[in-house]
Amino acid sequence: MSSIIFSKTALLILISLLMLVIQNSKAQNTEKMNNPKVIQITPQEALQLLEKDSAIMIDVREIEELEILSYDVDKVINIPLGAINNFEKQVEDVSENRKIIMVCRSGRRSQKAAQILLQKGYSAVYNLKGGIIEWEKQQMKVKKGN
């Protein structure tokens, strides 16, 4: 008789633990959906997104930096991150449904800008790993200034 009671107790404990695991899994999935991550991509992946998926590239570097070296792609716009309030206002003109590749010199500022976009509700946000430094290293097209 006591073994039957023990078995029922053990079964109840197992069911409770299973329910906790399921709830935790659901909470993690909800957190992932509510907290999307910036997707890190290579220069080759960025170029593919630009060519095949109608993505747009947003370069967050300052104008002076662009005059020295810039990305030689058709779908790139410059919205400097330096003036953060201006950045947030200008980026509102870009559709939230569009795939956006954030770029800069090394990938740090663009990562920060990508986080801002995610917080504003954008979902398909990519960051170019290594920025224009890696882009040029991989022999992708660039424009050089004087």
Contact assessment for residue 68 and residue 113, using Cβ atoms and an 8 Å cutoff: no
Give the integer Cα–Cα distance in Å for 66 and 78.
9
pLDDT reading at 66 higher than 50:
yes
Give the orientation angle of helix 84-91 with respect to helix 108-119, to 10 degrees. 60
pLDDT reading at 16 higher than 80:
no
pLDDT reading at 31 higher than 50:
no
What dihedral do alpha carbons 45, 48, 54, 60 form, nearest 10°?
40
pLDDT reading at 14 higher than 60:
yes
Between residues 25 and 12, the one the model is more confident about: 12
pLDDT reading at 3 higher than 70:
no
Mean pLDDT score across all residues of the chain: 86
pLDDT digits (tens, 9 = 90+) for 101-142: 999 999 999 999 999 999 989 989 999 999 999 999 999 999
| Model confidence band, residue 54 (pLDDT cutoffs 50, 70, 90) | confident
Pull the structure tokens for residue 65.
Answer: 């930096």
Percent of the chain with pLDDT strictly greater than 70: 87
First-to-last CA distance in the chain? Answer: 91
Segment 67-95 shows an average pLDDT of 89
- In 3-state terms, what secondary structure has residue 89? helix
pTM higher than 0.85 for the full model?
Answer: no
In which element (H, E) is residue 127 found?
A: strand 125-128
Looking at residue 85, its pLDDT comes to: 79
Q: Please report, as a single letter, which amino acid is at residue 61.
A: R
Looking at residue 55, its pLDDT comes to: 94
